[in-house]
Amino acid sequence: MTAPALQPYQYVALRCVPRPEREEFVNVGVVLFCHATDFLDVTWHVDGDRLRALWPSVDVDRVCEALSFADAVCRGEQAGGLAGGQPVSMRFGFLKAPRSTVLQPGPVHGGLTADPAAELERLRAALLG
């Protein structure tokens, strides 16, 4: 039996940075892009207690709204605005671009996988758990 072909992928952790001047953050999401399979998806989990430990007045609902927007961009939905209507690679480019908001992407990392969806779940457990 032949092993499934490994495909290169890239991913970024999405970080909630409630007080950028303190350079503290909590990973709240992961976006994975595999060009060879046209796979782009995000998984996320927000631990409100953990965020409030960094900044008691953080608006957890707004963080979740921003992550829902990232979801819409990944899926190419209208709720993703102009970015949601772009080709998959451009949508990933939008999501990985640095920004100075409460929700920021970390550095881009890469790897090889035969199953991008399973790899995204593995990254979820490793980075958001």
Q: Tens of pLDDT along 10-51? A: 999 999 998 888 888 999 999 999 999 999 999 999 999 999
Say how far apart CA 32 and CA 117 lie, in whole Å.
8
The pLDDT of residue 6 is 96
- Locus of tokens 């190419």: 76
User: What DSSP string runs through 29-63?
Assistant: EEEEEEGGGTEEEEEE---HHHHHHH-TT--HHHH
Average pLDDT over residues 53-61: 92
pLDDT band at 4 (very low <50, low <70, confident <90, very high): confident
Say how far apart CA 34 and CA 41 lie, in whole Å.
9
On the question of pLDDT at 1 being above 80, the answer is no
Average pLDDT over residues 80-94: 95
Q: What is the pTM of this model?
A: 0.93
The pLDDT of residue 23 is 85
Yes or no: say if 118 and 25 are a contact pair by the CB < 8 Å rule.
no
Task: Find the helix packing angle between 88-96 and 60-75, rounded to 10°.
Answer: 160
